[in-house]
Amino acid sequence: MGEAGESMKRIAGIVVLHCILLCGAGPATQPAVRPATAEETLAALKERFGSEGYRYEIDIEERLIFAVAAADDAAFDRLRASLKEQAEAFHAELFKHKPVHYVTVLMPTVPDYRRLVKYKNVPGAYIDSARTLIARDRGYVVTHEFTHALHAADREPLGQTHAVWITEGLGAMSEAADFADGKLTLRDNPRFGDLRFSASRKAVIPLERLIVMDQREFVKRPNLTYGQSGSVMLYLWEHKLLREFYDTYKSTYAEDPTGRAALEKVTGKKLPDFHSEWREWLAARKGKAAK
Ligand SMILES: [Zn+2]
């Protein structure tokens, strides 16, 4: 996520979390001849978190394994339905490959979350190597992390590791999106509020620099990097270029993993010119108040 929270500490926290998940799940997830089945993963989760206060389910159709604390029937059904709509919307709009492997949706109790993630400023994470989404907060945090899971499933068959700005841009753009009836509708994100002022003062990071950042650099200035990346995605979507950009990015990935070639191709502009146009577009978005 992009709050003050996303810092270098997060990376360390995720490493800790990854280890706990893998090391604590029993023989099925040790380095093994075959991956754990959904039932084995569920059994391991039950053993780790216990039956009290948790709800466990496997959704075969959506390839999801749920371990969710403090969810009554209505809350659980809402969560399940919202993830289904989100997946449908992304598959209709952007992602070609549906998840083949199960993804675990882990929403622990507050004490369990604290034990798993040592840093208070990290509300959620998606750990691809464990195919696990963990979220402390409901709502946009789950949405953001679930987009990472869907995105990871889309690029997995291609063997691609996409640029951080693209991964987090997709995550950030989805936070304020609407997925009703499986249709993706993007909106201005609360993150864009301050960003509009930065854009009007020309105090944003040049896109030429943003797109070449690695994870370490990207998380140093989260208020700018997450917001900028998400707003570039919103710009592309509003100009009906998002799908074309993403498809072009995947097909040109081997030559240019930064996304520069794909951006220049679909916008028909050199990157510095596109930067100026995007910045002015963002600075002018008065009245597009975030919800
Ligand atoms: Zn993210």
pLDDT tens per residue across span 178-193: 999 889 999 998 888 8
Q: What pLDDT sits at residue 118?
A: 80
By CB neighbour count within 10 A (0-12 exposed, 13-18 middle, 19+ buried), where does 111 fall?
A: exposed
Return mean pLDDT, the chain. 87
69 CA → ligand 1 middle, Å = 22
Span 24-32, mean pLDDT? 44
d(CA 209, CA 132): 30
> How many Å lie between the centroid of ligand 1 and the Cα of residue 144?
6
Looking at residue 287, what is its pLDDT?
57
- The number of CA neighbours under 13 Å toward the Cβ of 283 is 14
pLDDT tens figures, 45-70: 999 999 888 999 999 999 999 999 98
pLDDT given at position 1: 47
Return the pLDDT at 13: 52
Ligand 1 centroid to residue 269 C-alpha, Å: 28
89-131 tens-digit pLDDT: 999 999 999 999 999 999 999 899 998 888 778 889 999 989 9
pLDDT band at 11 (very low <50, low <70, confident <90, very high): very low
The confidence score (pLDDT) of residue 14 equals 52
Centre of ligand 1 to C-alpha 135, Å, is 12
> 33 CA to middle of ligand 1, Å?
31
Residue 104 pairs with which residues in a beta bridge?
Answer: 65, 132
Q: How far is the CA of 182 from the centre of ligand 1 (A)?
A: 22
pLDDT tens for each residue of 244-271: 999 999 999 999 999 999 999 999 999 9
List C-alpha distances in Å: 142 to 10, 107, 216, 269, 284. Answer: 17, 9, 23, 35, 30
Distance 254 CA to ligand 1 centre (A): 23
| CA 103 / ligand 1 centre spacing (Å) | 16
Tell me the whole-structure pTM to 2 decimals.
0.88
- Give the type of residue at 63: R
Rounded percentage of the chain residues whose pLDDT exceeds 70: 87
> pLDDT value at position 3?
42
Query: Quick one: pLDDT band at residue 10, thresholds 50, 70, 90?
Result: low
